[in-house]
Structure 1
Amino acid sequence: MVKGIITKGIAGFYYVKVEDKVFECKARGKFRNSNITPVVGDIVKIIPEESNLTGSIVEILPRKNILTRPSVANVDQAIIVFAAKNPDPNLQLLDRFLVLVEEQNLEICICINKIDIDKEKTYQEIKNTYEKIGYKVILTSAILNIGIDKLKNELFNKVTTFAGPSGVGKSSLLNAIDSSLSLKTGEISKKVKRGKHTTRHVELLNLKEESFVLDTPGFSMLSLEHINPKELKNLFKEFLPYNDLCRFSQCSHIHEPDCIIKQKVEEGVIDAGRYKRYQMFYKELETSKQRRW
């Protein structure tokens, strides 16, 4: 047996990189019987067939984390890519993804791409809002090569999931970081103002300088329904210093009086837009929980 990492999975075949070779592998039936599915990023042991570079996955080593969408394992950080324009930023979608990534305790960097076409520089307000919370925000233009070196430095010696809606320029950014990737890029649909999917599957890409990135299909909806509504407040980074200071120890920051979070929103310490989205997610999770019961 040899150890490698799954770089791609398509139609039941898993491509496992072992040193400088890639083996096309099938997973042993025991995983299916145990309801375990190998995912990109898994460190696995395989029985290789050197002559034709095929093999069988016989063991999946313990994962340090796993994301559900995109479905990837053993990730160090997430870079969430949104466009300054074309398509316009969807902050509800951004906050949904932030909640999911915070749940996995990953490092997070927000990348606002296509700043060259936002002549009014409205992206600066978004940058300021999320930097105030404590997130790292990088401004980029893949076309004009703005911010590319800064983004590349964030990838060094890490496994990073690159995620964001279709059409925001994830593949273009990766091509700008490493031109040898030659990833396919797409156009924005003029009719619906959304990006066309150019990445059809999750793939682990080996960049220079010990860097790995997961180029993933764009997403438009992210479900939070597995999250306990009582835990949601712990996934909003700016709430953490205040969560234990409310009058009621189990304050949801929704209905209760003497809530320090609501006070901080009124004072402008916590962004009102973020708080409204927190309320929306909380009510959504409460409704989902009632349906399940």
Structure 2
Amino acid sequence: MERNFDGTVIRATGSWYDVRTDGGEVVPCRIRGRLRLEGRRSTNPVVVGDRVVCRTDEGGDSLIEEIRPRRNYVIRRASNLSKESHIIAANIDRALLVVTLREPETAPEFVDRFLVTCEAYKVPATLLLSKIDLQDAEAVAAFRTVYEAAGYRVLETAAPQGEGLDAVWELLAGRTTLVAGNSGVGKSTLIRAIDPTLDIRTGAISESHRKGRHTTTFSAMYPLAGGGAVIDTPGIKGFGLIDIDGAELWHYFPEMLREAGACRFYNCTHTHEPGCAVVEAVREGRIALSRYESYLKILDEDEKYRK
């Protein structure tokens, strides 16, 4: 019997998509060919979190025919020097970036690039220091100082021991939250600790390189027992920015945005101009040097992509 229905994409494999209808039924769907050809630069035209219009034909096959306008999304460059993008998830209430300072180490520049994208696409972001029992206390304190000064909330957890989970649960309850990070930082372990009823695989760290193994193959949305949902994603290695104008980049560093109004020139790039309040704030320690260095590296990368 032919029928049309609206729903939310809760799993995306690249060829098949699980869509949860507004009535709660999960329907496997393919996407109509034209959705791949509408001038999209994204490698994945349909993503977890998308609101979609679907049709089941008389043969019982279901197709995604239309993607509703997205409220927001988190996006990155598909690969080095690529002009294509990869959307990680759409229509989310919050992004939770899971970070470890060792075993494995999350690079500060990766954190900053992720946060810039969240700022640019209006996704509130929170940082979570995972495996806190394995981290160096001084490094943790330094990390908190940098990112709390920038305006971000920083949580700490040791999921297997149950440490810090109450604050995470409070953050997740009633919201759709993207949980992202490098492989091996403990995303799946965290989600399973929050809701043990969820069937999410976990994995160990590779001893040879002290890097994480991918335990999540495809992005998927999981409903939480107490309300809300989490989107678990495969581990992300790099985070290239896309479609962010270099002249506007500083708008997406909240601490720079706070200082920039005092710059001598209205079009200050915060790199070399005299009377730059941002550079002065870096000198005086109100803006962390690591964050400012990330800003400069991203600017330099933007110039390379424009060539």
C-alpha contact (below 8 Å) 1:82/1:111 kept by paired residues: yes
Q: Could you tell me which residue of structure 1 aligns to residue 196 of structure 2?
A: 179
Q: Distance in 1 between matches of 2:74 and 2:285?
A: 33
C-alpha contact (below 8 Å) 1:158/1:210 kept by paired residues: yes
Residue 35 of structure 1, CA deviation? 4.0
Tell me which of 8, 23, 29 is aligned to 1:25.
Answer: 29
Q: Does 1:41 align with 2:49?
A: yes
Q: Distance in 1 between matches of 2:94 and 2:304?
A: 31
5 Å-filtered alignment, 1:75-86, equals: 75-86=92-103
Q: Distance in 1 between matches of 2:136 and 2:91?
A: 39
Residues 81-132 of structure 1: CA deviation (Å, up to 9, x unaligned): 0114211231111111111111111111000000111254521220122112
Q: Distance in 1 between matches of 2:137 and 2:174?
A: 36
Amino acid at match of 1:4: G
5+ residue gaps, structure 2, are 77-86
Q: Distance in 2 between matches of 1:173 and 1:50?
A: 42
Q: Could you tell me which residue of structure 2 aligns to residue 97 of structure 1?
A: 114
Amino acid at match of 1:212: A
Q: Does 1:152 align with 2:160?
A: no
Tell me which of 263, 267, 275 is aligned to 1:250.
Answer: 267
Cα distance, 1:176–1:121 mapped onto 2, change above 3 Å: farther
4+ aligned runs moved over 4 Å, structure 1:
49-52
Q: Distance in 1 between matches of 2:157 and 2:59?
A: 45
Amino acid at match of 1:46: C
Q: TM-score, normalised by structure 1?
A: 0.93
Where 2:106 maps in the other structure, the secondary structure is: coil
Q: Distance in 2 between matches of 1:205 and 1:50?
A: 30
Q: Does 1:66 align with 2:73?
A: yes
Tell me which of 206, 217, 221 is aligned to 2:223.
Answer: 206
Amino acid at match of 1:266: R
Cα distance, 1:225–1:44 mapped onto 2, change above 3 Å: closer
Residue 250 of structure 1, CA deviation? 0.6
Q: Could you tell me which residue of structure 2 aligns to residue 194 of structure 1?
A: 211
C-alpha contact (below 8 Å) 1:85/1:115 kept by paired residues: no
% identical aligned pairs: 34
Amino acid at match of 2:272: H
5+ residue gaps, structure 1, are none
Residue 234 of structure 1, CA deviation? 0.4
Q: Does 1:161 align with 2:165?
A: no
Cα distance, 1:166–1:235 mapped onto 2, change above 3 Å: same
Q: TM-score, normalised by structure 2?
A: 0.89
Q: Which moved more, 1:180-189 or 1:163-172?
A: 180-189
Amino acid at match of 1:34: E
Amino acid at match of 2:174: N
Residue 50 of structure 1, CA deviation? 10
Residue 4 of structure 1, CA deviation? 0.9
C-alpha contact (below 8 Å) 2:88/2:233 kept by paired residues: no
Residues 200-220 of structure 1: CA deviation (Å, up to 9, x unaligned): 111111112321111001111
Q: Could you tell me which residue of structure 1 aligns to residue 146 of structure 2?
A: 129
Q: Does 1:5 align with 2:8?
A: yes
C-alpha contact (below 8 Å) 2:110/2:238 kept by paired residues: yes
Residue 149 of structure 1, CA deviation? 1.4
Amino acid at match of 1:100: T
Q: Which moved more, 1:126-135 or 1:65-74?
A: 65-74
Q: Distance in 2 between matches of 1:62 and 1:32?
A: 16
Q: Distance in 2 between matches of 1:141 and 1:47?
A: 44
